[in-house]
Structure formats: C-alpha cells, structure tokens
Amino acid sequence: MPVLRASALTFSYGPEPLINGLGFELRSGDFMCVLGPNGSGKSTLLKLLTGYIRGASGSVHIAGEDVFGIGTRELARLVAYVPSETSTPYDFTAREMVLLGRTARSGFWRGYSAADEEAADRAMEETGITRFAGRSVNSLSTGERQLAFIAQALAQEARVLLMDEPTSHLDLKYKSAVMALLAGLVSKRMAVAVVLHEPALARLGCNKALLMERGGGYSFGPVPELLTAQRLARVYGLPENSPLLPK
C-alpha cells in the first residue's frame, strides 16, 4: 500500500490552474524530488498534501486514509513537514526546538517523557547538531538552523517527510550533507519528498521525480528516465545545451 497517494489534485489561487489533475504515489523507501520552475506550485503542493491548504479537488490519502479524515495530532505522527524557512522571535534552544517535534506524541500538559528525550537526542545525533543543543536557534547559522528543524521533524517519528527547499540557503557542503541525511532516512523505510531548486541534486539518492510545469502540467516517474536534459530544458525554458542541465 502506498504511504502517500495524491490523485487528480487540482488547485488554483486565481482563474489559472496552478496544479491540474496531478497524481503520484510514494511507498516506504521512496525518495522523491519535486522540481519545476518558480511559480509551478511546488510549495503549494506540499501544503495540499498535508491538508494545510484546503480547497483543492481530488484527493490525498496518507497510509490509506483521506487526509481530511485524519485529526491534526494523528496527522503529525504520520507526516512531518519542514518549511523552507522557520523563524521564531523567541530564543528556544536547539534542543527545545527538537523536543517540540514530540508535540503530537505527548499530552498537552505533561512534561517530556524519557522516550521523548531519547527521540530528540537521537534526532540531534543523526543531524549532527548535538554540539549546539543548548544554543538559541536564533544564534545559529542558516544551515545549522535548517538542520535543527530537520531534527525536529525526525523527532516526530513520522512515516513521511516533506521538505520545502531544505537546501536553498545552504552551501555545497550542507547541501550534500542534507541529501545524504535524507537518503539515510529512506534506507530506514521512510518516504521522503523534497522540493529542490537544482535538478543536479536529484542524483544524490532520489529514485523518483515529480516535474511540475507552470500552468498545471506535470510528469512523474523514476529519476533516470524522467530527468533528461531535453525534458528539463523544455520545463525550465533553457536551451538544451545549457551547462546547468545534466549531460
């Protein structure tokens, strides 16, 4: 059974369709990149998948259940979502931030259980942020902060991880580190969908690709077949011999 299935999703903010009849399936162990030019609806798609944005026609099923039939708490145990940037005016420490990933797994008023603390410590180890556990997230660099929010999502122990441009503000080293981290999660039977700006990053472990076009068109399939220079050139509006495209 696919852990995440979208079928015939159609959505628009205005008269022009942004997403038109889109459908795909992810199973445990799938690592999908979502590519497409600016304004093709990549970020909107992620929020439609979690039911945060309403008003789309079509359906999204998570672990076999319609997303709108799942309560918010239950949903957070199934799907974790990391926006491209999260900020807070308050100086939460990195560890407190990661612990907030346990919101859906502990009662609203109780303190954190030993299992919560363990999950947070494990998530910080996996993302390599243990050394600044006690520092305020606002004092971290952009890359470090992004890792803290990835750790928060890991502490959620969800089955699906959705990430919106996790690498957009990062240097090459952090980019490859984040992709390697995600590939590691996939090997542990998680399903990951990640919005990327650079098609080249898809080669760092993605097995599926969703290529979105402006105006609602899309294609979905395995990475090697789908991400050809020819198709990417057409979707991004680049000449086929552009050095930005894979050879």
* Residues found near another protein in the complex (CB under 8 A): 47, 50, 52, 72-73, 75-77, 79-81, 83, 86-93, 96, 100-101, 103-104, 106-109, 111, 138, 156
Give the separation between CA 164 and CA 221, rounded to whole angstroms: 20
Residue 125 structure tokens: 């180890």
Amino acid (one-letter) located at 168:
S
Cα dihedral 44, 50, 54, 58 sign? positive
Could you give the count of Cα atoms lying within 13 Å of 81 in the half-sphere of its Cβ?
16
Least Å from the CB of residue 34 to another protein: 17
Give the separation between CA 161 and CA 153, rounded to whole angstroms: 8
Least Å from the CB of residue 46 to another protein: 10
Q: How many residues does the chain have?
A: 247
Residue (85 or 240) nearer to another protein, CB: 85
Least Å from the CB of residue 240 to another protein: 38
Least Å from the CB of residue 200 to another protein: 28
Residue (7 or 88) nearer to another protein, CB: 88
Give the separation between CA 29 and CA 205, rounded to whole angstroms: 11
Least Å from the CB of residue 211 to another protein: 25
Residue (115 or 244) nearer to another protein, CB: 115
Residue (123 or 235) nearer to another protein, CB: 123
Q: Map 131-166 to HEC letters.
A: HHCCCEHHHCCHHHHHHHHHHHHHHCCCCEEEEECC
Residue (13 or 52) nearer to another protein, CB: 52
